[in-house]
Amino acid sequence: MARIIGTGSCMPRNVVTNKSMESYVDTSDEWIVSRTGIKERYISEKDENTGDLGYGAAVEALRDAGIGPMDLDYIIVATTTPHSLVPNTSCYIQGKLGAMNAACFDINAACTGFIYGLEIAQSLLNLKDKEYVLVIGTEVLSKITDFGDRSTCVLFGDGAGAAVLRKGEGILGIVTGADGTKGECLSTGDFAVSNILAGVNESKNLISMDGKEVYKFAVNILPLALEKALEKSDMKAEELDHIIPHQANVRIIESAAKRLHLPLDKFYMNIERTGNTSAASIAIALDEMNKKGLLKMGDKVSMVGFGGGLTYGAICMEWTM
C-alpha cells in the first residue's frame, strides 16, 4: 500500500527549438511538429548532469511532501544515463540531500523506469518498518544522442522528475513487463563496461532506433498495459479523470486514446515543450499537473509508459493530496 505525497521536477537551463535543430541536421520545424508534436526540448550543458537534475527534483518533491531528507527510507533513481556507474546516481543524490537513513539504488528500464520505480517503492512500503520512498526519474539523453542522426536527435530532451511515496492507500494497481526479443529496436550498442574503461567503441555507444518498430510496439502496448492496470485496479477506463502517458510522440498518444475510446483531453501532454525525456517524462508531467492544481483529491489518475528494452508499464491510483 502506497500513495504519492509530493512531487518535484528540475529542467536544464538551455532550451533548444526545432528551428535551431535545423542547423545540426537536415530537418524542419514542420516535419518535427507534424510527426511528433515536439516544438522544443531542454538540453543539458556540460556542467548539468543526471545527479544534479535529480537532486533538484528531489528537493522540490521533499518540500511538497513536507518531510525532511532524514525521513527517507529509500531513494530509487530510474535512469538510462547515470552520470557515473559507481557511485550510482541515487547515492550521489543521497549525499547531496543528506538523506543518511536512506538505502539507495538505480534502476534502468529506459522510459518505463519511473513506473518500475513506483512498483518497487510500493513493494518496499509493505515492509513493516519503512515509511517513505523517494522515486526519481532523471535523464540527460542528449549526452548519448547522435546529433548526426535526424531520425533520433530531434526526439530527445533532458530533465528530471520525482515523487515521494508514503505508506497508505492511493495506488490501486500496477502492471510492468518487457519484451527482450525486441531489444535491438532501441539500443546503445556495445555499451559494455569493458569498452567504456578501454575508451573504445564510443560512436557505437550512442542511441540508435528503429522508429517504425518502436512505434508499432508503442501503439499496441500503451492501451494494453493501461487496460491490464485498470483490470488489476477493478476500474473501467471511463472512470479515469487523467491519464499521464510517456511523452514520446503525440501520434502514439492519440492512437491510444482512440483505442481506449477516451477523449484526448484526458491525456496530459507537455511533449511540445520537453521532447522525450525517457525515465523522467512521466514524473515531470505528473509534477506539472500537481503544480498547476489539475489533480484534485479523489481523482482517478493513470500513468502509462513504454521504452527501450523494450519495456512497458501502467499504474492506476487515486490522488490523495
3-state secondary structure of 81: coil
CB 166 within 8 A of CB 118: no
Please state the φ and ψ torsions of residue 252, each to the nearest 5 degrees: -65, -40
Fill in the DSSP letter of residue 112. Answer: G
Q: How far is the CB of 254 from ligand ACO (least distance, A)?
A: 12
Site string (62-81) toward ligand ACO, x via CB under 6 A: --------------------
- Minimum distance of ligand ACO from residue 247's CB (angstroms): 9
Annotate 215-276 with DSSP letters as a single string: HHHHHHHHHHHHHHHHHHTT--GGG-SEEEE--S-HHHHHHHHHHTT--GGGB---HHHH-B
The correct pick among 172, 248, 271, 301 for binding ligand ACO (CB under 6 A) is: 248
Task: Decide whether 60 or 119 has the Cβ nearer to ligand ACO.
Answer: 119
How far is the CA of 93 from the CAs of 26, 90, 181, in angstroms? 38, 5, 34
Q: Which of 78, 214, 250, 284 binds ligand ACO (CB under 6 A)?
A: 214
- Measured from the CB atom, the residue of 95 and 211 that comes closer to ligand ACO is 211
* DSSP symbol at 214: H
The smaller minimum CB distance to ligand ACO, of residues 34 and 101, is found at 34
Choice between 91 and 286, CB closer to ligand ACO: 286
> Footprint of ligand ACO on residues 12-31 (CB under 6 A)?
27, 31
Site string for ligand ACO, 83-112 (x = CB under 6 A): ---------------------------xx-
215 binds ligand ACO (CB under 6 A): yes
Shortest Cβ distance from residue 133 to ligand ACO (Å)?
23
The C-alpha R_g of the chain, in whole angstroms, comes to 18
Of 136-195, which residues contact ligand ACO (CB under 6 A)?
A: 150-151, 154, 186
Could you tell me the smallest distance in angstroms from the CB atom of residue 145 to ligand ACO?
10
Report yes or no: 11 and 53 within 8 Å, Cβ to Cβ.
yes
Alpha-carbon distance values, 216 to 227, 251, 255 (Å)? 18, 11, 11
Candidates 172, 138, 136; CA nearest to 44 is 138
Q: Measured from the CB atom, is 213 or 299 closer to ligand ACO? A: 213
Residues annotated as catalytic are 111, 246, 276
C-alpha distances in Å from residue 118, one per residue of 149, 166, 289, 303: 33, 11, 18, 11
What is the distance between the terminal CA atoms of the chain, rounded to a whole angstrom? 16
* Nearest distance in Å: CB 298, ligand ACO: 32
The grid cell for 224 is: 494494453
Choosing from 35, 39, 259, 273, the residue that interacts with ligand ACO (CB under 6 A) is: 35
57 vs 218, beta carbon nearer ligand ACO: 218
In the complex, what is the shortest distance from the CB of residue 52 to ligand ACO, in angstroms, rounded to a whole number? 21
Positions in the binding site for ligand ACO (CB under 6 A): 27, 31-32, 35-36, 110-111, 150-151, 154, 186, 209, 211-212, 214-215, 218, 248-249, 276, 278, 307-308
